[in-house]
Structure 1
Amino acid sequence: MEQLYPSQVAEWASQQTQRPVLLDVREGWEIQTASAKPEGLDLVHMPMQSIPARLDELDKSRPIACLCHHGSRSMQVANFLLQHGYQVVNVAGGIHAWSEQIDPTIAVY
């Protein structure tokens, strides 16, 4: 499983042939508390538990970067998506690291 730090996501996105998706797998209240504004990616919110039922909403031709709070839920989702034929990476450190590396205005919780 490839892992990227938030500071590497924009460069990774620019190297893709299809516009990538930043798949935020946190719960709704977490999104309201702190949310990334990714450059060069489309933000999609699907709580982790909803992924199996909503799998067909994700386009296999588009690369996906999975994001959560600290990186462990997104790693589980990324592994699940890999098993189902998706092109996926995990954002190491999650939204917490995103706040530290990219946008300090994002709340830390």
Structure 2
Amino acid sequence: MISIHPAQLQDWLKAAEAHTPPGALPIVLDVREPWELQTASVKASGFQLLHMPMRSVPARYLELDRSQPIACLCHHGARSAQVAHFLMNNGFTEVVNIHGGINAWSHELDPTVALY
């Protein structure tokens, strides 16, 4: 599985353009719990932000397009790594994990994102 740091997101988005269906954007799949999303959230810029708590992914992953690039995000990167692995085992080919999660996102990309 490939992991990227939040600081590498723009490079990943640019590379993902070649694998994104026409008229679509790459996806950042936030797998945190709803209370975490209320505590801290990222701003979608150049990607579509989807929220699907980790525990709901096995029941909902078919809502996702297997051909669309997906970067998985959680608090520190462990849950998102598990979800990325699950998606890859279920036929998704353009999946990465955002290493360090939203915590690293706050440190590397946007200090206005709350730490918790």
Superposition map of 1:1-109 within 5 A = 1-16=1-16, 17=18, 18=20, 19-86=25-92, 87-109=94-116
- Most deviating of 14-23 and 86-95: 14-23
Per the alignment, in what secondary structure is the counterpart of residue 8 of structure 2? helix
Structure 1 residue ranges, 4+ long, deviating more than 4 angstroms after superposition:
none
- For 2:52 and 2:10, the matched residues in 1 are separated by 21
TM-score (norm 2): 0.91
Identity of aligned residues (%): 57
**Aligned-partner residue type, residue 113 of structure 2:** I
What RMSD, in angstroms, separates the aligned Cα atoms of the two structures? 0.8
- For 1:40 and 1:75, the matched residues in 2 are separated by 22
The number of equivalent residue pairs is 109
TM-score (norm 1): 0.97
